[in-house]
A and B are shown apart, each in its own frame.
Chain A
Amino acid sequence: LSLYNFLIIIILILFLLAVFSAIAVIVLHYLSITFNQRTKQFAERWEESFFDYLSSDKDPDDLINQIPKSNYKYLLEFIKPLLINLRGDDYIKFSKLIYETSVYKYLISSLKSRSKQRKMKAAYFLGLSRAAKAKDILIANLNSKDELVIISVSLALARLNAVDSADYILKVLRKRTTISNDTLYSILVEFDKEICSHLLRTFKKENLHSKIIIISVFRHFKFLEAAETALKELSSAQEKTLIIALIKFLSEVGYKQSEHKIKYFRLHNNPDVRKNAVVAYGKIASPGRENKIVELINDRNWGVQLNAAEALWKYSQKGKDLLNSIACNLKDKKAASAARMILSYNTIFNK
């Protein structure tokens, strides 16, 4: 192959690619416009019927049977904001349009399809409508190889409040090293508060990462019943993220018995632990223990200094007075700076 021929072939390929790109954009644009138009037309055609249904005792099937199956994708787009924003009886009536009609079958067949996108969409709507009868098939989809499908299915199960699937969700998601603690936590807090009792029962058997997430969930729901277990765990905890999660939880629920233990962690060698412990201690400590916080305003870490100053300000009048005197003390410039910054924010900004 001569250089000349090679260049001609490359030019032809590039030319075809350019033409293909141009056609692709036009086609994609047309498809997108058509979809939006049809969704709009669907809304115009059916909006009144939907609100009639809402204000009557009609069977959801009566309404859905009038809509051709080919229009279900527009129906779902139309119903999505309503399901997100409606509450109470209105929400229940709209969700029945999904799980008590042929839309449910449509979603289940999507969940069984090979397309990841269809699976994710189906899981989303089954979760959004709290279609409890889809629980088993959703659990089966937790075995998917695709991480995004697993997350969608987990969220759906959480919205269904399928408490008994929580352990399995944790187990499956924990295997995925790319899923963060925050992501897992945001899935678990989609369950109702009763998830906490379930998680408390299994807490001891869980591994370190799961324990961290479970404690964050307890904190979200302010689940005081877990405080004793958490305090025991804190006695033996070595890993900083777990220690921080436990400290935050115990102070959030105001578990007085943990005061002594938290006091100890305020002097931990890790600055992140100290940072959180000093705030937690400020919240939970009995009056008159402010001097234990003052020690940390001279900490070598700026974050600990600021948190110590914040803790002094937040929880007692004596703390506020101490903070004022530290701010005026010119001997320790760093501590004074931290104190002044917190005083600035809390006195001026909160007025």
Chain B
Amino acid sequence: MTAGLTYYLLLYTDFVIIYFFCITSIYLILNIVSFRRIRRYQKKVKYEELNKIFRLTEHKSISLIIPAYNEEVGIVDNLKSLLHLEYPNYQLIVVNDGSTDNTLKLLFEKFSLRQISFAPYYQIKCKTIKAVYRSSVNPSLIVVDKANGGKADAINAGINISKHSLITVIDADSILERDSLLKIVRPFVEDENVVAVGGSIRIANGCRINHGHIEEVRLSKSWLARFQVVEYLRAFLFGRNGFDGINGIMIVSGAFSCFSREALINIGGYKAGSIGEDMEIIVRMHKEFRPVNPKSRITFIPDPVCWTEAPENLKLLKKQRIRWQKGTFESVLLHKKLFFNLKYEWLGFLVFPYFTIFELIGPIIEVTGYVVFIICLSLGIINTETAVLFLLVAVLYGIVLSLLAVVLEEISFKRYNNIKDLIILFAAAILENFGYRQMTAVWRFMGVVEYLFGKKAWGHMERKGIENPAKGRI
């Protein structure tokens, strides 16, 4: 083996170590910021009566848009629960995006839909709306039937039908807490410059669900779902919350997000055909609005307001992660102008580069790092003892981060009341570092490769359905 190759392998190993210390430092800062922010948030809301909004003359009314493509499993129960949310004035718009299953038929049967002559004002481009229906039993429920155009296009159609000043977008399989709308509206009241708010998403697998309502928060029996619970806690309690402190939120979850209707229309709505539409629209909002109004803000509420189904098999999880990675790539590439652009303050200077370097290129460095590490070890280029210690640091650090997320959950929202579940959560926080994390890194790596050389479509996610009344749990 040539000395040159050894030199480059060592150089790359050093680079990976530096990369590791950079990312751990960022996570550490995010942790500290998030602890402070969540504690403060908790204090703020502890004695707040959310329903005070009912008294106000000028409460903000909401149009809730639910894009639905082949959602026959669970959509009826979900809609029933969505019709009973605690909020003074909201409408529900289901956009059937050319489903090929029985979604529309089920809606017809269960909600007594009646076709109405509705003329939408096309403020945003979307595929032609075939028909608009209204429920005879629940007048606030509107169903829009349109040709298949993807999630973004379906949401745009919903925006064209909507009439309220705030638009909330939720996935058809998402379960909202009864007071979720009251909570998500709060940032719009607290700050006039807020244009979008994201909610904290939790995993519903394993929870006891009755008619679209979470009755008891429990953990799934599947370890894959348990690992994702830890991942979501980390992502929402630390990641988003930390970035929110510097107005640097780059993504709000498509499963539950709320926007000013005016802001959505002014930027032309969601980008049709986008893979990561939830990230793309947020980055575009920053890009468009901040030069005009530097105070404009995209924020996040840490309350667990929305519960969603997590894939419980490797095939679906892989599909999801590849899609997420492609979405990140797409958004970063489309809005590369923000990279180290000081005009966008911390977002341009820190958050966007963070997403580019650590979220986008990260999996490449991580996966190639493993490979180079193994080569170096097997060739005896690096000291085995030091290598093992370094690996131990990396694994322990991952464990500590996940455990801190569980601590934060227990300090703040305490949704897992069963001590057995907490212990399992601990075990998941430890075990996910041995295989699961590496596996997702490989999938993300594949996402980058697929985006560069393969298909760029959204793909389709199969739904198992998060509610199974017969069993109560899945």
Residues of A within 8 A of B (CB): 3-4, 7-8, 10-11, 14-15, 17-18, 21-22, 24-26, 28-29, 32-33, 84, 116-117, 120-121, 124, 148, 152, 178, 180-183, 185-186, 189, 216, 219-220, 252, 302-303, 306, 327, 337-338, 340-341, 343-345, 348-349
Using CB atoms, name the residue of chain B closest to A181. Answer: B192
B55 touches A337 (CB 8 A): no
Query: In the complex, A306 Cα to B261 Cα: how many Å?
Result: 13
- Pick the residue among B46, B117, B396 that contacts A18 (CB under 8 A): B396
A344 touches B189 (CB 8 A): no
- Pick the residue among B118, B122, B397, B407 that contacts A14 (CB under 8 A): B397
Separation in Å of the B13 CB from the closest CB of chain A?
Answer: 12
Asked whether A302 and B52 contact (CB < 8 A) given A18-B399, A344-B118, the answer is no
A28 touches B410 (CB 8 A): yes
B contact residues around A29 at 8 Å (CB): 410, 414, 419, 422
A152 touches B385 (CB 8 A): no
Asked whether A3 and B119 contact (CB < 8 A) given A17-B400, A21-B403, the answer is no
Asked whether A8 and B389 contact (CB < 8 A) given A180-B192, A182-B190, the answer is yes
Separation in Å of the B407 CB from the closest CB of chain A?
Answer: 5
Annotate B25-43 by CB proximity to A: 1 below 8 A, 0 otherwise.
0000000000000001001
B389 touches A344 (CB 8 A): no
List 11 A-B pairs, Cβ < 8 Å. Answer: A14-B396, A17-B400, A21-B403, A21-B407, A22-B403, A84-B49, A120-B46, A341-B120, A344-B119, A344-B120, A348-B116
B contact residues around A148 at 8 Å (CB): 40, 43-44
Using CB atoms, name the residue of chain B closest to A272. Answer: B262
Query: In the complex, A185 Cα to B189 Cα: how many Å?
Result: 10
A116 touches B43 (CB 8 A): yes
Using CB atoms, name the residue of chain A closest to B49. Answer: A84
Separation in Å of the A311 CB from the closest CB of chain B?
Answer: 15
- Pick the residue among B57, B116, B119 that contacts A337 (CB under 8 A): B119
7 additional A-B pairs beyond A18-B396, A33-B417, A120-B46, beta carbons within 8 Å, are A25-B410, A28-B407, A29-B414, A120-B43, A341-B119, A348-B118, A349-B116
Asked whether A22 and B47 contact (CB < 8 A) given A7-B393, A148-B40, the answer is no
A contact residues around B406 at 8 Å (CB): 21, 25
Query: In the complex, A18 Cα to B117 Cα: how many Å?
Result: 62
B120 touches A21 (CB 8 A): no
Using CB atoms, name the residue of chain B closest to A336. Answer: B119
Separation in Å of the B199 CB from the closest CB of chain A?
Answer: 20
B393 touches A14 (CB 8 A): yes
Near A by CB (< 8 A), chain B positions 380-414 give 385-386, 389-390, 392-393, 396-397, 399-400, 403-404, 406-407, 410-411, 414
Query: In the complex, A117 Cα to B399 Cα: how many Å?
Result: 31
Query: In the complex, A239 Cα to B262 Cα: how many Å?
Result: 20
Annotate B110-126 by CB proximity to A: 1 below 8 A, 0 otherwise.
00000011111111000
Separation in Å of the B386 CB from the closest CB of chain A?
Answer: 6
A303 touches B262 (CB 8 A): yes
A contact residues around B134 at 8 Å (CB): 348-349
B contact residues around A3 at 8 Å (CB): 386
Query: In the complex, A21 Cα to B399 Cα: how many Å?
Result: 10
Q: Is B191 an interface residue (CB 8 A)?
A: yes
A220 touches B57 (CB 8 A): yes
Using CB atoms, name the residue of chain B closest to A152. Answer: B47
Query: In the complex, A33 Cα to B417 Cα: how many Å?
Result: 8
A18 touches B403 (CB 8 A): yes
B contact residues around A306 at 8 Å (CB): 121
- Pick the residue among A18, A124, A302 that contacts B47 (CB under 8 A): A124
Considering the complex of A and B, which 8 residue pairs feature the smallest CB-CB distances, nearest first?
A340-B119, A21-B403, A124-B47, A341-B121, A14-B396, A7-B389, A182-B189, A344-B118
Separation in Å of the A333 CB from the closest CB of chain B?
Answer: 10
Annotate B93-127 by CB proximity to A: 1 below 8 A, 0 otherwise.
00000000000000000000000111111110000
Query: In the complex, A186 Cα to B51 Cα: how many Å?
Result: 12
B contact residues around A21 at 8 Å (CB): 400, 403-404, 406-407
B contact residues around A337 at 8 Å (CB): 119-122
Query: In the complex, A209 Cα to B350 Cα: how many Å?
Result: 34
A contact residues around B291 at 8 Å (CB): none
Asked whether A348 and B190 contact (CB < 8 A) given A4-B385, A14-B393, A21-B403, the answer is no
Separation in Å of the A198 CB from the closest CB of chain B?
Answer: 20
A contact residues around B407 at 8 Å (CB): 21, 24-25, 28
A contact residues around B40 at 8 Å (CB): 148
A180 touches B189 (CB 8 A): yes
Query: In the complex, A178 Cα to B191 Cα: how many Å?
Result: 8
A302 touches B116 (CB 8 A): no
Query: In the complex, A171 Cα to B40 Cα: how many Å?
Result: 24
Query: In the complex, A15 Cα to B395 Cα: how many Å?
Result: 11
A343 touches B119 (CB 8 A): yes
A contact residues around B265 at 8 Å (CB): 302
Using CB atoms, name the residue of chain B closest to A337. Answer: B121
Query: In the complex, A25 Cα to B400 Cα: how many Å?
Result: 13
Q: Is B426 an interface residue (CB 8 A)?
A: yes
Query: In the complex, A183 Cα to B191 Cα: how many Å?
Result: 8
A contact residues around B119 at 8 Å (CB): 327, 337, 340-341, 343-344
A302 touches B57 (CB 8 A): no
A contact residues around B47 at 8 Å (CB): 120-121, 124, 152
Q: Is B462 an interface residue (CB 8 A)?
A: no
B120 touches A32 (CB 8 A): no
B396 touches A11 (CB 8 A): yes
Separation in Å of the A32 CB from the closest CB of chain B?
Answer: 5
B414 touches A32 (CB 8 A): yes
